[in-house]
Every structure is written in C-alpha cells, then in structure tokens.
Structure 1
Amino acid sequence: MDYSIYDAIRAGFTKVVFIIRKDFAEDFKNIFEPKLKGKVAIDYVYQDLHSFTGDFPVPADRSKPWGTAHAVLCARDAIKEPFAVINADDFYGRDSFEKAYAFLTGPVSPNVYCIIGYELAKTLSDNGTVSRGVCQVDAAGNLVSIAERTKIYEKDGKITYEEGDKKFEVPYDSKVSMNFWAFDPSVFAYTEKIFKEFLAEQGSNPKAEFFIPIIGDKFIKEGKGSIKVIPTGAKWFGVTYKEDAPEVQASLNALIAKGEYPSNLWK
C-alpha cells in the first residue's frame, strides 16, 4: 500500500480515500497519518454489512460485507471527482498510476471509464496457479468482456488455464485485470442501482459477492458507455502464496537499488 500511495502522489493524485473496517480504524490511522501528513489529503470510509442495503433483510448467517463493488459504493460521499480504485495489497508500478492519472485528467466522462490492463505473463506466480480476469479487447482498445480464468500457469513456454478437466492456452500478451480501475463519479449512482438488483437476485446467499467486474460488465452490456483498456508494461507483484513473499521483497529491493524508489518512502 505504501508503494501505491507513493506512486500515486508522484503521478499527480492529491487525495487518498481508505476503505476500511471501523473496528480497526484507530490502529490504521496511527500507522498511516504520521507518514502521510502534509503529503496528500486523507479520508476514511467504512464498509459495513448494512451499508446501502435499505430495507433488504441481510441474512443472519452473513458475516462479511458484500465485496469490492460494494466497497466502492461505500466511498460515495467522500468522492466527488474522477478517481482510481486499487487493491491495497498489490504492487502496481509507477507506470500504471501515471496512465490512470492521465486518463482521469483527460478522456474520463460519465460514459467512458477505464481499466489498467496488465500483460498476463507479468502477473503469474512461480509457486502455483493463479486466477485472473482475462480481458477481451476490441480493435479500438475497448473492453468487450472479462472472463475469470482459474488455475492459470506457465509451463514449457506456454500459458495455460484449466476449466474442468480441459486445458486451454492463453496468449502471452493477453491483458488481465488486476482490479485497477478509473471511474467518473457517476459510477456511484449506477453501482447503487446494480447493487439493488444484485440483492434482489443473490442477496439471500450468504456467500454471494458484488465485485467491480459485475459493474463493468453491465455498464458495457447495457450500452451505458465504454471501458478503455489502457495497457501497462509494469510488472505486478503480489503474494498469492507465502512462498511468493521473498521474491516480492527481492523485486522491491532491486527497484530500490536501481533508484526507482528511496529506501525510506516517507522520510
């Protein structure tokens, strides 16, 4: 998260909204506010199981909130300008934030959103299979669909995913979503509408989740506008398996050694 905030600030972003649980808010603030004071505006929103559910009876056996799109919806009152959404526990790379900022200060509109598209080969793990949202992109660079592919791995110079008992090859340069989106604030009203539909259809299932790709998919299919897939050559880092941690640390150390990041981000 520190690296993402650092990259966002130097790309031009001036505000960070943390979407967190209220029960650890004070501990969270005590960690981040001293580091970020005077460097960027900070706000907090709390994702709660009952946020935006209205009169819908939340299942008694549901303990977790409703997923990533619901988390974005919870930030509605804190965000009035075009904005980017990321996962807190992923390393996205400087190039991604620069491209997102250029989009958000340029072509973004109520009917044009974007997703940062990573090269599939740069998001794999050496320690096991991964799941990725593989993007289908048209000739104009617009997102056509995102297909969640599971058990993706590289072997013998090929990238393969498994579905059932079948194996399918995926091109090396396929673009995948790592949940780095850029939106106009009009997305909040649309997301609230789709969330109500989601609750009506799946809300009684205690494990159902309302993910951001659901919003993207409906936005396209309902003809509300387009979602640009902006490619990045940045390498994504993440800890899918505990064995990934040393490699991620080594990659960060290499970037520090190259001078791309200071050894202390907030000194």
Structure 2
Amino acid sequence: MSTKQEKLTLVILAAGLGTRFGGSKQLAEIVGLDRTIMELSICDAVKAGITHLVLVINENIKTEIEQDVLPRLPTGLNVKLAIQDRNNIPLDFKHLAVERIKPWGTGHALLSAKPYVSGKAIVITADDYYGKSAYQLLANELLADRPNNNSQWSLVGYPILDTLSEHGGVNRGICQVDENKHLQQVNEFLEITYQENKLSGLNHTQVREAISTESLASMTIWGFDETLFDYLERGFVEFLSKYDSAVQKEYYLPNQIQKAIDTEQKKVTVLRANESWLGMTYRSELSDITKKLNQIFKGGSIDSCQSNK
C-alpha cells in the first residue's frame, strides 16, 4: 500500500445496459465467490490504497446495488452512487435526450462521477477483472513525487496475447508507446486473430493488418486527476454540437484522452500489466471466467475484504 495519505478514488463505470450479455452483467455473481466482478476489483483496489469509491450506474439497477452489493463492500470505504442519466446534458442540447435510448457512452459516464471525485482517481469498467497488481501500479504512478511532473494521467496496458479469446476474434485498442513510455495513440483493431501463425486484425479501413505480438492493449483502466473532467466537459459540448446523429453515436472516454494528447500534448504514462485481464461480453463466457476467478481467489483472499455488514 502506498505510504502517502493522499486520497485515491476508484470510479467504476457500471451503467451499461448489457444488451449483448442479455441483462445487467454488472450484477452477475461469480459462483463459488458470491461476489460480482466489480466487487473483486474493489477488494484489489482497497488493498492498493483506495479509500473512496464512486459507482456510476443506471437508475434501473440502483435498488439491487443498494440491497445486494453495498452491504458486502469493505468496511471504511467511502461509497457514492452516481446515476448516469441520459437527460443530464447541457441545456442547449436537451432536445437530443428526447430521442436518446441508450447511455451517451463512457465519456459521459465518467462525467457523471465528477461531483464525487477530488484529487487522483482510477477508472475501470464493472465487468472487467484487471488483476491485483494493476491498482498498485497506478497508485504508485499517481502518487509519485517527481519534480515538474506533468504526467498525471496513466494507463495499464495488457500484453495483447493475454487478451485474446479461444472463442473467436476480439476487438482491441492497440497502444503506440514512445521511448519514454508515454502513450502516443490507441489504434482500434477488429477481429484480432491468429491466421497462418500470424497475429492480425482489421484496421480502421477494414484492411487486415499485422499486429506485433509484443503489443499492449488498452482495456479501460486509467489513472487521472481532476483536470480530465475539464477536457470531458468541453469535449461533450463539441460532440453534441458536431453530430446531428448524436442520439446514435457514443461519447467515448479514450477518444477524449487521445484528443488531449494530440492537441495539448498531454502526457499519459503506459504501465505494463503484470497479470492477465479477464472480461466478458457474452453470457457464454461467464463459466470460463468463473473457473479462473475461483483459482485466483482460492484460499479465501476475498474474505480479507471485510464487509459493511
């Protein structure tokens, strides 16, 4: 745990509708552990020095979160619920919310947490498991005492080979990193698979392109400070102004971080993960992840996160 006393907040984006999963996968409990994936992540984060938690949720799951999840969380953790409401947009664009059905995207979700975040924070998604050491990596980076340090954002990148699926191609953001371990760009590739013993994926032009097996993938685990909210607020207004079809498009967090890198030379440090990432899109993947998580948490390590009961 960090020796510093500075407050660290964990923000979990848990407002997705789970359309492809067939329900609220944020609330799917892991058999044998009787915890959701996000509870396992919270346990890991607390051990790395997290003292505050913000759960960004949709109104439909608020009651279940309050009744089932909150009582199981570690004692002493300061917890806030932030509702991602599609009507919570600047006044000039309220008419767009009338036609909007799904949430506005991860950028808007993180903006929903703004009232509850001060200081340094880590943001993750609810249905991904990042490994115990990921939080310590980010905590060490965020709390590092460096002269003239302007690299206050960070990202844990996962070796691409550790994020592939046995069930078919995957979509991943491949990180381009400079010699100073700063993020230059995240390039989205679709249907990443091995073909003829070579790793490749479809690039933005839908052309299959070779991908280095040494590449790191961005799996949406970022470290940031409060200045990120300023970028997100400005960017959201630009997003709503630019797209006539904004009721269909999504406002993505990674896109806004990329914009800060490109236009304002923001430094984002890329940290290489020490453990594998686990995640699921479809309910059929739950069984395999259940086995792996039970192996990771065997021996009762989840019990060391005392609940509020």
Q: Does 1:225 align with 2:266?
A: yes
Distance in 1 between residues matched to 2:61 and 2:193, nearest whole Å: 36
Distance in 2 between residues matched to 1:80 and 1:263, nearest whole Å: 29
Contact 2:159 2:214 in 1 (8 A): yes
Unaligned runs of 5+ in 1: none
Q: Does 1:238 align with 2:275?
A: no
Contact 1:110 1:184 in 2 (8 A): no
Residue 11 of structure 1 corresponds to which residue in structure 2? Answer: 48
Task: Give the letter for the 2:233 counterpart.
Answer: E
Q: How many residues align?
A: 266
Residue 34 of structure 2 corresponds to which residue in structure 1? Answer: none
Residue 50 of structure 1 aligns to a residue whose secondary structure is: coil
Unaligned runs of 5+ in 2: 1-37
Task: Give the letter for the 1:250 counterpart.
Answer: K
Deviation at 1:236, TM superposition (A): 0.5
Task: Give the letter for the 1:197 counterpart.
Answer: E
1:76–1:176 CA distance, 2 compared to 1 (3 A): same
Residue 104 of structure 1 corresponds to which residue in structure 2? Answer: 142
Q: 1:148 aligns with which of 175, 182, 188?
A: 188
More displaced stretch, 26-35 vs 175-184: 26-35
Task: Give the letter for the 1:10 counterpart.
Answer: K
Residue 83 of structure 1 corresponds to which residue in structure 2? Answer: 121
Q: 2:112 aligns with which of 74, 77, 99?
A: 74
Q: Does 1:28 align with 2:68?
A: no
Deviation at 1:158, TM superposition (A): 2.8
Task: Give the letter for the 2:231 counterpart.
Answer: Y
Residue 45 of structure 1 aligns to a residue whose secondary structure is: strand
- Percent identity (aligned): 29
1:262–1:206 CA distance, 2 compared to 1 (3 A): closer
Contact 1:119 1:233 in 2 (8 A): no
Distance in 1 between residues matched to 2:51 and 2:67, nearest whole Å: 20
Deviation at 1:52, TM superposition (A): 3.1
Contact 1:127 1:243 in 2 (8 A): no
Deviation at 1:115, TM superposition (A): 1.0
Contact 1:160 1:167 in 2 (8 A): yes
**Per-residue Cα deviation, 1:89-108 (whole angstroms, up to 9, x for no partner):** 00100111111111222269
Task: Give the letter for the 1:133 counterpart.
Answer: G
Residue 222 of structure 2 aligns to a residue whose secondary structure is: strand
More displaced stretch, 2-11 vs 248-257: 248-257
Residue 252 of structure 1 aligns to a residue whose secondary structure is: helix
Q: What aligned pairs does 1:26-65 form with structure 2 within 5 A after superposition?
A: 26-36=63-73, 38-56=75-93, 57-58=95-96, 60-65=98-103
